[in-house]
Amino acid sequence: MEQMLENAWLIPLFPLIAFIVLVAIGKQLKQGAAYIGILATLASFVLSLFTFFERFRDGAETYFQPVEWFSIAGFDVIMGYEITQLNAMMLVIVSLVSLLVHIYSRGYMDQDERLPVFYQYLALFTFSMLGLVISPNLLQLYIFWELVGVCSFLLVGFYFYKPEARAAAKKAFIVTRIGDVGLFIAIILLFWWTGSFAYNDIFNAVENGNLESWQITLAAILIFIGAMGKSGQFPLHTWLPDAMEGPTPVSALIHAATMVAAGVYLVAATFDLFTASETALTVVAYVGGFTAIFAASIGLTQTDIKRILAYSTVSQLGYMMLALGAAAAVGYAASTFHLMTHAFFKALLFLAAGSVIHAVHTQDIFKMGGLWKEMKVTAWLFLIGCLAIAGIPPFSGFWSKEEILLAVYHAERFDLFWIAVITAFFTAFYMFRLFFVTFTGETKLQQKAHESPIVMTGPMMILGVLAVISGFINTPWNPVLSEWLTEGMEGSLHVEAPVWITVVAVIVSLAGIGLAWMMYGKGSLAQNWFSARVPLLYQLSYRKYYIDEIYDSVFVRPLNGLGKIVYLFDIYVVDGLVQLTARITGAIGQLGARMQNGQIQTYGVVTMIGLVLLIVGMAVAGGYFQ
């Protein structure tokens, strides 16, 4: 019984149809356009769910359906779709979060007259993301990879009249494209080395030893560069916080739950390649680890609610990369598990943040305060999200973060393990700093905030439930998900890790929350306690380590300067020489054609000169008529 898998191509088709319909008649539908998108994603979600169950419960085989696309010089490029365990899980995550965001946006974007355009982009994104997930080969993945990128670009720049949005959209596209080029090269190299774009052929080539180890390492690292761009890993992380210029539901869907996780997904999907190269795995682990702690340390001092969440996303994606790189099959399971729980609680946090912004029309948390009384539902749900991300049992983040810590410790990457622990402390602190500043204390708002309508809080509640319970699918005593995801993979899932790790992890998180409470809740510790004592560190964190400024002066300005210099060269030297030639020609032309005028004569003269030059040239070359 594989009907669902055979028909899995329908999953991305619904949003595509919605996109086409909305392009055609969206404008006429006005705010009703939302329902087209909602219906389509609902259909995708239901199908994804059935597909997932068919794989999960009935243990259906990986399904692959090839279609010929076009031929490159005799080689037939194949398109198609494939449902593996990982894909099946991703399908559910993407279509579910997308559905909830579609519903939520009906309320959030209600006042916007460009709502139909918004839903067009959302539908195109959903189509592309689902297409990305079911791609059976790297070329097809790359196509959807770029399409999700362009949707992200379009949605970041949705408020096109805002200069900040314009700059952010451009940055998002260009910075991720730098990574994309790595992936682009990897795809081409792997094609020439293995004769195929398909994952399976590439894995077989690796397994059969058809590739040299340097080739494997190079290809894996290039793929990872692509993943770094999409998943905002250092040093390509700078676009993601700026991408918060987009409407908040977009931040939830694209820049938290799904697209930015595509980098993690990519590494996971090509994991057989990575495991064949110790070097590549180490790179992944350290880049991930560094990004995790680096972004978390920036999150400590930010004041914009969305940017704090954005840095937290960067940091959590680093966590996933860290696990992938550090701990083989166990890390793979832990990482993809965390990808799932993170999708739910981070989408929740963003939607709740959106609910707050919707109510108070500012993003500066220090202009809010005391929202607990006015927005009970949002506040509770936000708290659940915070508890989940901080890793407090029994919330979902606890289980997945725990898995990662255990896996990294088990792999004896102790340096990375402690980085992860410190990051967990930072995470708990900045999330609860955000929570206390926003929801407790005295309000600094002029007018009263109102709770958002049910169309917005409804989706948040569903995510809230998932943020609480989704961890139970993979508990240490019954790791259903891990076992299923790593079916057929090498390496044992059985991890003997000391109990103290769990204890330490929880204590560290509680300490972070406690510190945040003392500084921002109860106020027993001055808010500037740290900033006054280590102003330099505070400035570094607040200014995001000046990375943007560094890039500006190392890349952007020199490139512009180079362009200007080269332009002068082009005008004065290249064209100047030509002008000179032309002038000499013209002088000769006037000599030769004194009685005639008009340009056609010049033309003839130039032709003659060309002739002479050519003959001289060939005489010099020595080849003239033997």
Partner 1 sequence: MMEFDLQRYLLTMIVLSPLLGILALLLTPRHRAGTVKLIGIVAAFIPLLLSLVMYVQFDLNQEEMQFIQQMEWINIPIPLSTGVGYLPIAYEVGVDGLSMPLVLLASLIAFLGAIASNTVSKRWKEFYIIYLVMEIGLLGVFMSLNLFLFFIFFELALIPMFFLIAIWGFMDREKAAIKFLIYNGVGSGIMLISFILLFIITMTLNIQEIASQFTDPLSQLNASDQYTFVTENMRMGLFIALLIAFGIKMPIVPFHTWMLKSYQESPFAMIMISSGIMIKMGAYGIIRLGVGFFPQWALDLAPMLALLGLINLLYGAVLALVQKDLKMVLAYSSVSHMGIVLLGIAAMNEVGFQGAIFQMVSHGLIAALLIYMIAVIYERTQTTTLRELGGLAGQMPFISGIFLAASLASLGLPGMSGFISEFQSFLGLFNSLPVYAAIGTLGIILTAVYMLRATLQTTFGPKQERFHDVVDARPIEVVPMAVLLALVILIGIHPAVLSDVVRATLQNLVPGIGG
Q: Could you tell me the smallest distance in angstroms from the CB atom of residue 41 to partner 1?
A: 21
Choice between 157 and 521, CB closer to partner 1: 157
What is the DSSP code (8-state) at residue 243? G
- Beta carbons of 158 and 207 less than 8 angstroms apart: no
Residue spans of alpha helices (H) in 236-370: 239-242, 248-252, 262-269, 271-274, 278-299, 305-326, 328-360
- Least Å distance, CB 592 to partner 1, is 14
- CB 564 to partner 1: min, Å: 5
Residue 67 or 536 with smaller CB distance to partner 1: 67
- What is the nearest approach in angstroms of partner 1 to the Cβ of residue 120? 10
433-257-86 Cα angle (round to 5): 135
CB-based contacts of 33: which residues, under 8 Å, 6+ apart?
22, 26, 115, 116, 119, 120
Rounded-to-integer distance, Cα 188 and Cα 195, Å? 10
* Least distance in angstroms from the C-beta of 607 to partner 1: 3
Alpha-carbon gap, residue 202 to 606, rounded angstroms: 57
* DSSP symbols for 332-350: HHHHHHHHHHHHHHHHHHH
Q: Which is nearer to partner 1, 554 or 615 (CB)?
A: 615
- Least distance to partner 1 from the beta carbon of 221, Å? 14
Query: Closest CB to partner 1 among 113 and 442?
Result: 113
Closest CB 18 distance from partner 1, rounded Å: 17
Nearer to partner 1, 511 or 608 (CB): 608
Half-sphere exposure in the Cβ direction for 121 (13 Å, CA): 23
Residue 594 parent element (H or E): none
CB of residue 204 to partner 1, shortest distance in Å: 21
Distance CA 509, CA 44 (A): 37
Do residues 37 and 18 lie in contact, with contact meaning Cβ atoms separated by under 8 Å? Answer: yes
Alpha-carbon distance of 141 to 272, in angstroms, equals 17
Rounded-to-integer distance, Cα 345 and Cα 322, Å: 20
Q: Which is nearer to partner 1, 48 or 176 (CB)?
A: 176
Residue 177 vs 367, nearer CB to partner 1 = 177
Length of the chain: 626
Comparison of 476 and 576: residue with beta carbon closer to partner 1: 576
